[in-house]
Structure 1
Amino acid sequence: MMHRFSLKHIGILIIGLKFALLAFLVLKVIYFSEQPPDYVFDQRFFFIMVAGFLAQLIDGTLGMAYGVSCSTLLLSLGLPPAVATASVHTAEVFTTGVSGLSHLFMQNVNKVLFFRIVIPGILGAVIGAYLISEVLDGNVIKPYISGYLLIMGILILVKSFRKLPGVERVRRLLLLGFSGGFLDAVGGGGWGPIVTSNLIFQGKTPQETIGTVNTAEFFVAFCSTGVFLFFVGIDSWKVVLALIAGGVLAAPVGAVMAKRVKPKTMMRLVGFIIILISAYTIYNSLA
């Protein structure tokens, strides 16, 4: 069945799902909101917009850090963890959608790899979103996730200074996709660092890995967002709009940069970003 779907079909599905979610959000804010919408955009709106631009630029180029960067910012502004995570994942549907379309256009996507990670990724994201909304505290397990990512970042950085091997077979893709989707929903970010870092460490080329993982991330974010909207709701629509506006502007730029940056340079940047974010998360958790 997988061979019937082309990259063009994936792009059409992304566009259709984005418009469906957009229509739902517009109807909810305008017609079903408990209070009249406030259309005044203050300085914080533009600050969040710039943060969304930078986060998506990094994510589109290196395949990671959007969720972690945005979640950290929103938590620092005083939003509750569940609300911050729901806002980031809602915005991520639109930013990763544009990023995915850009990577499809630049031919950075491996169709076989895409299908092998996206289906378990969706399953993990749905389960994780439900648990963080109703059962778990994501802050409890976040330091353990960051410790694992810190080790992966160091290994990738070390590997970037060696000769890049060919890929015989990427292993444990179902488990990798499931754990990436689950931990992304629970921790507010992690799909990119977990899936991208593992695939690159196993020898996949950075450009193809980042393009494929970013495109799959749209579907993972879309499904987890549906769960968050059902259990948590989305009252902070201006935060979501600011993140979307900044991210959509940055997404095409990130796809072009991912295509043009050399593989070894990309690996070093990926490793450095993983180490930096993981160390920062561990420090905040222990402080």
Structure 2
Amino acid sequence: MRKLLLLALVGLGAQLVDGSLGMAYGVTSTTLLLAIGTNPAAASATVHLAEIGTTLASGAAHWRFGNVDWKVVAKIGVPGAIGAFAGATFLSSLSTEVAAPVMALLLLALGVYILVRFTAFGIRRDRLGLPLRKRFLAPLGLIAGFVDSTGGGGWGPVGTPAILASGRLAPRKVIGSIDTSEFLVAVAASIGFLVGLGSENVNFAWVAVLLVGGVVAAPIAAWLVRHIPPRILGSAVGGLIIITNARTLLRSDWIDASDGVRYTVYAALYLVWGLALAYSVKQYRAHRDSETTEAVESLAEERPKATVGA
């Protein structure tokens, strides 16, 4: 019962992050399932089955708040579904001994990408309004869908930063469109896992509690996307994913590190994570203060003109 309650809370927390940042539901949930000893393919299958419901609820909530660009959803979602099905069948064919460290390595790489991308660069805003082309979105969807299935998450970590980096779509619409298109990815991945694994290898009680937590959080996250600084949240989530999956890798047969080595690595990672968070907070505040100053100066310049005109 405690495990089910914990999974429900994880589903809720992961969806709050995913819905407000455009990533990390699958990565966060799969990381926890791996940490408690779940078979990698079964863990990814469990998360993707739950995501059918959470992404549907999240997409509906984002649509209600005006956060969805349906052209982007269509151009990236269909190739994403193809890649997700291929990734699911591939992961299902691997043995547990091989799949566990492979998945942890993928998740670790995604965590590093999230941490560096949001800590160092923030979000580009100078190219808003330019069209996103199919020749960019289709390959991106195919790769992101494959990584999502094999890594237990990755649709958001690959898709969201790539579109944000283009600077062509407002952040809230990037997040809403990625979350909505993920429904197609979740359906395709789930079919692939059920074909490759069979339903007997999936714990449907875990699917249900992850789903409940995610559905409760979906509308809250769609509202929060307008209020939480993505730069800070991205740094926080990236660091968490790195530390958790580094633990899995250090304990795996690939490395089998001693206690001294593991604790040294953990200490170094926590230090880097803390510095990254501090830097993100500092940059966010500096950017916010700069925007406030520009707004005040602009208002001050307009007032004399209004007086002269009167």
Q: Report TM bin, short chain.
A: 0.7 to 0.9
TM-score normalised by L of structure 2: 0.71
The one-letter amino acid paired with 1:248 is V
Matches within 5 A, 1:42-81: 42-81=1-40
- 1:201 corresponds to: 165
- 2:48 corresponds to: 89
Contact 2:67 2:173 in 1 (8 A): yes
Q: Partners of 1:86 and 1:144 in 2: how far apart? A: 16
Could you tell me which of 212, 221, 225 is aligned with 1:254? 221
Alignment of 1:154 onto 2:116: yes
| Deviation of 1:179 (Å) | 0.8
Instruction: Give the aligned length.
Output: 242
The percentage of counterpart residues that share the same residue type is: 34
The one-letter amino acid paired with 1:143 is L
Provide, for residues 48-87 of structure 1, a one-character-per-residue CA deviation record: whole Å limited to 9, x for no partner.
Answer: 1111111111111111111111112212222211111111
| Deviation of 1:169 (Å) | 4.8
Q: CA 1:198 to 1:146, structure 2 compared with 1: closer, same or farther past 3 Å?
A: farther
Structure 1 unmatched ranges of 5 or more:
1-41
| Deviation of 1:170 (Å) | 4.2
Q: Partners of 1:151 and 1:50 in 2: how far apart? A: 25
Q: Partners of 2:34 and 2:187 in 1: how far apart? A: 22
Contact 1:83 1:234 in 2 (8 A): no
- 1:166 corresponds to: 127
| Deviation of 1:282 (Å) | 4.1
- 2:241 corresponds to: 277
Structure 2 unmatched ranges of 5 or more:
252-310
Provide, for residues 86-141 of structure 1, a one-character-per-residue CA deviation record: whole Å limited to 9, x for no partner.
Answer: 11110111111100111111110011111111011011001101100124744326
- 1:214 corresponds to: 179
- 1:187 corresponds to: 151
| Deviation of 1:156 (Å) | 3.2
Contact 1:154 1:275 in 2 (8 A): no
| Deviation of 1:163 (Å) | 6.8
- 1:241 corresponds to: 208
Which protein has the larger Cα radius of gyration, Structure 1 or Structure 2?
A: 2
Provide, for residues 151-206 of structure 1, a one-character-per-residue CA deviation record: whole Å limited to 9, x for no partner.
Answer: 4542333332x873124454622121111100000011111111011111221322
Q: Partners of 2:219 and 2:147 in 1: how far apart? A: 26
Q: CA 1:246 to 1:75, structure 2 compared with 1: closer, same or farther past 3 Å?
A: same
Q: Please, what is the CA RMSD of the aligned residues? A: 2.2
> Which piece of structure 1 moves more, 222-231 or 208-217?
222-231
Q: Partners of 1:145 and 1:246 in 2: how far apart? A: 22
Q: Partners of 2:112 and 2:243 in 1: how far apart? A: 7
